[in-house]
Amino acid sequence: MRGYNSTWEFIQQIEKAGELVRIQAEVDPDLEVSEIASRVMREYGPALLFERVRGSRIPLLINAYGSNKRMAMALGAESLDEISERITSLIDIKPPNSLKDALKVLPNLAQVRKFPPRTVKRGACQQIVFQGEDIDLFALPIIKCWPQDGGRYITLPQVITKNPESGAQNLGMYRIQVVDEKTCILHSQAHHDTARHLRMYAERGITKVPCAVAIGGASVATYAATAPMPPELDEWLLAGFLREEPVELVKAIESDLRVPAEADIVLEGYIDIEDVRVEGPFGDHTGFYTLKDEYPAFHITTVTMRKNPVYWTTIVGQPPKEDYFLGKATERIFLNILKKTVPEIVDMNLPIFGLFHNFCFVSIRKEYPHHARKVIYALWGLGQMSLTKWIVVVDADVDVQNTDEVLFYVGTNVDPERDVQVVHGPIDVLDHASDMTGHGGKIGIDATRKWASEGFQRRWPKELEMSDEIIDLVNTRWSEYGLSESMKGSQVKHREPILYESDALRAGGGKIGTIESGEAERGMQ
């Protein structure tokens, strides 16, 4: 198995790796935890285990995923790119042409068969059961994150609902505002699967929808709840793949929903579609308060937990925060799958200041006129990418992980009148800048080099580059100059040739070749 099967296993390992600090001083769940964690997150610091939270006997874990190292550890990998390569090896499987080929494929197919979750009779998550008057959500160390928040919020939930038509479960993550000891408000955004399930129940005249919320458990579980899986494709299947072992689920106490057996805490109950409450404000990942809005109440009828539970939580707000690393994991893990749909993509970056839905930088192998616009529209047609407000497309040789480099080419390669496409469509409901909730303007920017066949009739200039010989000379003699080693830097040698258009080649049959930039200039005069 990859990753860790329980919260305490994960805590022990990240502590051993020097990635966790235990805080024994008593802290207040009302804003104090949030301020401490926020300062640590700004410095990309360790996970924090608060062992004494006022009003609760349960320890609180925050910033558990708050670094690339801890994120990879949680998913049982050396790096996130390693997981991406594993996924690629599976989706690249082709039907075998011979017995020899079939034998090569068998190990991967056997691995796939292990992915579905496995139902067990008993789970550690049900070692302790509270019902009726014994239920008290305030016995959990649920925090208030920001001063003007509408109350305390559960911020790292694994929300489980079921499609009434297919019976397929969905695992998602939506903030949950605590109203009283047994009542919450579930922020089920319209664009997500839980809201779709609620609409389906309403169409059938069913107003009380079974729901369960798990907290903690296997180190991969919380991430799986955030992953952008296609509708009706079980997120536990992804979790099983990441673990290389099926996730164990157990039947809930009061419904036929299946909940993760190793979770620390499980809240069972129902969402009352007709019991609409005012939720918010909430200090959101946008860096602003999400304003009050109406969402259905989630009534808790049973609480179960392990004998030694840990309460997982997080805070969101102006970056950097812990959620950045969850989003970055999705970006790297799913990049190769995205390339199967949009194969011209070389790399993608959802920059930290873009809050996942504001900005997307993508590099492409440009092969025909206006290719960048095709990619922009393709991305706007893919799941949660449809909510992206700014998409910037650059050439294949631009490092999209380097924000300054991307912005350099936006400044130098873009004519705003020609290369900027403004459209109207769905956007994140948390976006406060649009006139109406959930839809507004979006911008696509073509920052690639321009070709004659795109209407560009001027010569495209050659970019400045030092010769390789001089770079090597200066590197060799640097110590002789009396300058510090920190000033030496790492001068980039000539970029790899990229795809340029040549009118001559195009006239000879429409082919695109690999042409050095000087030849490209001559071809586009």
Domain endpoint, select from 274, 292, 313: 313
In a domain, 460, yes or no: no
Residue appearing with tokens 């079980």: 234
Catalytic (active site) residue 180: no
The CA distance from 3 to 66, in Å, is 16
Q: What is the 3-state secondary structure (H, E, C) of 489-515?
A: CCCCCCCCCCEECCHHHHHCCCCCEEC
Residues 227 and 355 reside in one and the same domain: no
The most distant pair of C-alpha atoms in the chain lies apart, rounded to whole Å, by: 82
Residues 502 and 435 reside in one and the same domain: no
Q: Residue 506: CB partners within 8 Å, gap ≥ 6?
A: 453, 512
In a domain, 39, yes or no: yes
Model pLDDT, residue 435: 74
Residues 209 and 60 reside in one and the same domain: yes
Chain centroid to Cα 512, Å, comes to 35
Residues 54 and 95 reside in one and the same domain: yes
> 197: which 2 tokens?
């399930």
Residues 308 and 362 reside in one and the same domain: no
Domain hosting 410: range is 342-448
Q: What CATH number is attached to the domain comprising 400?
A: 3.40.1670.10
> 343: which 2 tokens?
């194969």
The CA distance from 310 to 22, in Å, is 13
Residues 38 and 100 reside in one and the same domain: yes
Domain endpoint, select from 393, 414, 448: 448
In a domain, 272, yes or no: yes
Low-confidence ranges of the chain (pLDDT < 50): 93-110, 112, 493-494, 497-525
Q: Give the dihedral sign, CA 399/404/409/414.
A: positive
Q: What CATH number is attached to the domain comprising 279?
A: 2.30.110.10
Buried b or exposed e, range 260-284, using 16+ CB within 10 angstroms: bbbbbbbbbbbbbbeeebebbbbbb
Domain endpoint, select from 448, 477, 509: 448
Residues 478 and 443 reside in one and the same domain: no
In a domain, 68, yes or no: yes
Residues 409 and 510 reside in one and the same domain: no
Model pLDDT, residue 505: 38
Rounded to the nearest 10 degrees, what angle do helices 235-243 and 80-91 cross at? 110
Residues 353 and 309 reside in one and the same domain: no
Domain total of the chain: 3
In a domain, 461, yes or no: no
In a domain, 321, yes or no: no
In a domain, 352, yes or no: yes
Model pLDDT, residue 119: 92
Query: Active site residue: 264, 284, 395, 419, which one?
Result: 284
The CA distance from 168 to 230, in Å, is 12
Residues 220 and 253 reside in one and the same domain: yes
pTM, two decimal places: 0.78
Residues 96 and 156 reside in one and the same domain: yes
Residues 409 and 444 reside in one and the same domain: yes
